[in-house]
Each structure stands twice: as structure tokens, then as C-alpha cells.
Structure 1
């Protein structure tokens, strides 16, 4: 087996890219920001995120929260929480907050947590999985049309 080694500058470049993806995510539209654009993005967006950070949890109203939603938590539309609109200049006062999906072509109008039983998503009343339903409002089943 051949042993591979990486030099320090390559490891730093990987760390820098991972930090960039954590901060920018898909906001760059698939084209990396220039160094100046990236610095401007960090200067304007990061402080706003720190001030207006959303903490989301799933639970039964009036009871304790049973699941904290993180950036990688899946929505009903099969995209992640971090792919929904979560950056606000000022957090809106109306509740519940509408967090539409920002993925091009997705019909999801608001983030909706998919409850899981271990690694498996909970099935709907029609006994089908979440991916068998439309991501549009109403979540009609694609298999049984209900």
C-alpha cells in the first residue's frame, strides 16, 4: 500500500475551503467569491447571523421540544435546513416564520421537519415515505394521490 502525504499548504487550502463552505454555503451560486467578495460577505453577513440567529426545534405545542434542528437536518422537500432562507436583516415578528427553500426548482414554501425513528423517516398516514409526497404545500402523495 502506497503512503500518501500532503504538504502544509495543501492542508491549509482544504481547511480554508471548508471554512468558506460553512460560512457561504450556496450563497455564491456555485461560483467561488473572489477574496474581496468573500471578505465583504463575512463583514456584512456574519455579524447579522450572530445577531439574528435562529434556533429551531421540533416538538408538540405546549410540551417540551424533542428535537433540535441543525444545519444538516432534512426538510420534507429532501433539502437541508441550511438550504432554506435563514438569514434576515431583521427577524420577522409574525409566527410561524416562513423559511422557503432556496434550491432552484424546489416548490417548498417553508422548512418542515421530517420526524425520524432512528435512521428511518416516520411514514405518513397513507404508509408512504416523505419522498413519495410532493414538496408543495399540502404534500399530496404521489403513489396514492391522497
Structure 2
């Protein structure tokens, strides 16, 4: 399973990878990522070409973002990062996990569904595309079994 990268995560490096991975939703900048990383329940999992930011608190785990460089897609990196998130969430005593994903990202939706996430709702117009169009977010959730 992926583990946090060596040393403290570099917000500038993560922001550059996030920008290379997304146009919608809007990529996060280094200051936004640094702000998240300063929060105690937040954790980062990294592998070359990808990272995941999650948090776990009060029995719930939230996958905040998953970024995989375009050149590293369809090689299992995203799956490994999400599996690492689920493992870390269980270790942090989370009983459920959830995330939001763009309704216009069928590859991510398929990945999450293959890992046991189910659609729980829709946030209408949650994301803004660069052209100003509003895009729905699908809320997905799954129950986490206790660690073995």
C-alpha cells in the first residue's frame, strides 16, 4: 500500500501535480493544500505521479482529492492510492468513507464503484468548470470493515 512520501509533503509539488491532473474541478493551489495539510486529521498518500489527500475524524473518512498525472493513468496508481486510503481510514477507526466526484468523470466513478463505493446522492452544480458551467458532484460512500 502507498505510504506518505519521504519527509513532509511539499504543497507546491502537490499543487503542480493537481493542476496537471484537473481542469474541473478547479485545481487546488499550494496555499490551499498547505492549509489542508496543517489540519491534524488530514493525511497524504503519495507515489510517483500521484497523490491522495484524505482525513478521518469522528468515525468518518473523507477522500478529499485524488490526483494522478495523465501519463500515469490506467496503470493501477489511482487504485493503489484509494486502497491505501481505505486501509489508513480503518486504522484511524473510521467506520464509513465518503467522497465527491464530478458527474463528468466516468473513469473515477468506475474506479470508486469497483472499490465498493456506492452512489449516495448528488450535489447539483457543486463544481465550476473553467467556462463557468456548473457540474454536479456525485456523493459516494462505503462502509469500512474493521481492520483484521
Fold shared by both chains (TM-score > 0.5): no
Please classify the TM superposition score into its range, dividing by the shorter chain length: under 0.3
TM-score, structure 2 normalization:
0.27
Structure with greater proportional strand content? 2
Structure ID, larger Rg? 1
